[in-house]
Amino acid sequence: MTDPSWKYENFEPAGSAIGYRIVRKLDEVQSPFQKIEIYESTDWGNLMLIDGAMMLTTRDNFLYHEMMSHPALFTHPDPKQVVIIGGGDCGTLREVLKHPGVARAVQCDIDEQVTRMAEKHFPELCESNGDPRAELLFDDGIAYMAACAPGSLDIVIVDSTDPVGPAEGLFNKAFYESCFRALRDDGILVQQSESPLVLLDLILEMRGEMRKAGFNAFQTLPFPQPCYPTGWWSCTLARKSGGFGFREQDAADKSFETRYYSAGVHGAARVLPPFVAERLER
């Protein structure tokens, strides 16, 4: 065994970096879309990097996966049909399937290798892949959403990499129009929306594109996520109309365990600090 060394991700758009002390490289594959690397770290379990960007660690992925799923599912009155675009590590799928009312959850990631790597190195995230309600597709999410039957979905979760490379087309009006059409009137679109500290412009731009596609109500929820730049991340929810009151009692009485999400945390995440609120709400 070699001595531990450090693996950094320099995040150029924000001029900041995140790093982990690693023991060794466990795996690497160059898929048709991107390079996926797996490292063993000294304190964070395994790490997955895609094209050099930290995607997840064993230790802290619960923050992201819980916040990408439960706020939306407890905001919708009765979510049954869920589609996840991206999300190849299967962690969001696992959280979605914890909701007993969900009848079907489709995960559509363009890169099968992400899921194969997750099965090997993050098996706990894949433990619901055999659920009869789960359907794993390895296909183009843009084409999948464009082909969805109108008004057939309750929730669309866009669990993608940053808006460069394969995921670029998941952050524009054309894609959001497909989501809008596929969602029922009370449906919810959720997307990871980067760091509210340094990338507020991106959140505003994303909301602008969603608005052009017909969405009229937005909610951005911040949460801690150490493996992403600045350690502070967010998801943004969009609806065709209406607000974001959530089923607080159902969330408090939920039949499954979560480590970060709770009814209280959901309510608390709705309170944006002044410097974020001023930019998003002006």
Q: How far is the CB of 21 from a copy of itself (least distance, A)?
A: 4
Query: By 3-state DSSP, what share of the chain in percent is helix, strand and coil, each rounded to 5?
Result: 35, 30, 35
Question: Interface with a copy of itself includes 245 (CB under 8 A)?
Answer: no
> How far is Cα 237 from Cα 278, in angstroms, rounded to an integer?
18
d(CA 8, CA 47): 12
CB of 282 to a copy of itself, least distance (A): 15
Q: Which amino acid is at 279?
A: R
Q: Is 70 labelled a binding residue?
A: no
Residues numbered 198-227 forming contacts with a copy of itself, rule: CB under 8 A: 198, 222, 224-226
Check whether 160 is labelled as a binding-site residue.
Answer: yes
Task: Identify residue 235 by its one-letter amino acid code.
Answer: C
Is residue 2 annotated as involved in ligand binding?
no
Residue 214 vs 226, nearer CB to a copy of itself: 226
Q: Is 19 near a copy of itself (CB under 8 A)?
A: yes
Q: Does 8 bind a copy of itself (CB under 8 A)?
A: yes
Cα→Cα distances 20→41, 113, 222, 245, Å: 7, 23, 23, 38
Query: First vs last Cα of the chain: how many Å apart?
Result: 55
In the complex with a copy of itself, the residue whose CB is nearer, 67 or 126, is: 67
Which of 33, 39, 44, 215 forms a contact with a copy of itself (CB under 8 A)? Answer: 44
Exactly one of 159, 185, 186, 253 is catalytic; name it.
159
**Dihedral sign (CA 85, 110, 213, 105):** negative
Q: How far apart are CA 11 and CA 17, in angstroms?
A: 5
Stretch that binds a copy of itself, among 106-114, 131-139, 165-173, 254-262 (CB under 8 A): 254-262
Judge whether 159 counts as a catalytic residue: yes
Which of the residues 47 through 106 are near a copy of itself (CB under 8 A)? 60, 62
Strands ordered across the beta sheet of 183-192: 134-138, 104-109, 81-86, 153-159, 183-192, 232-239, 217-224
Minimum Å gap between C-beta 17 and a copy of itself is 3
275 binds a copy of itself, rule: CB under 8 A:
yes
Give how far the C-alpha of residue 9 lies from the chain's centroid of Cα atoms, to the nearest Å: 19
143 binds a copy of itself (CB under 8 A): no
What's the min distance (Å) between Cβ of 58 and a copy of itself? 12
For 85, phi then psi, to 5°, come to -100, 125
CA separation for the pair 132, 146 (Å, rounded): 25
Q: For the chain, what's the residue count?
A: 282
Which CB atom, from 31 or from 262, has the smaller least distance to a copy of itself? 262
Summarize as ranges the residues that interact with a copy of itself (CB under 8 A): 4, 6, 8, 10, 12, 14-21, 41-44, 60, 62, 197-198, 222, 224-226, 230-232, 257-262, 264-265, 267-269, 271, 273-275
Annotated binding site for S-methyl-5'-thioadenosine: 34, 109, 140-141, 166
Residues marked as catalytic: 159
Annotated binding site: 34, 65, 89, 109, 140-141, 159-162, 166
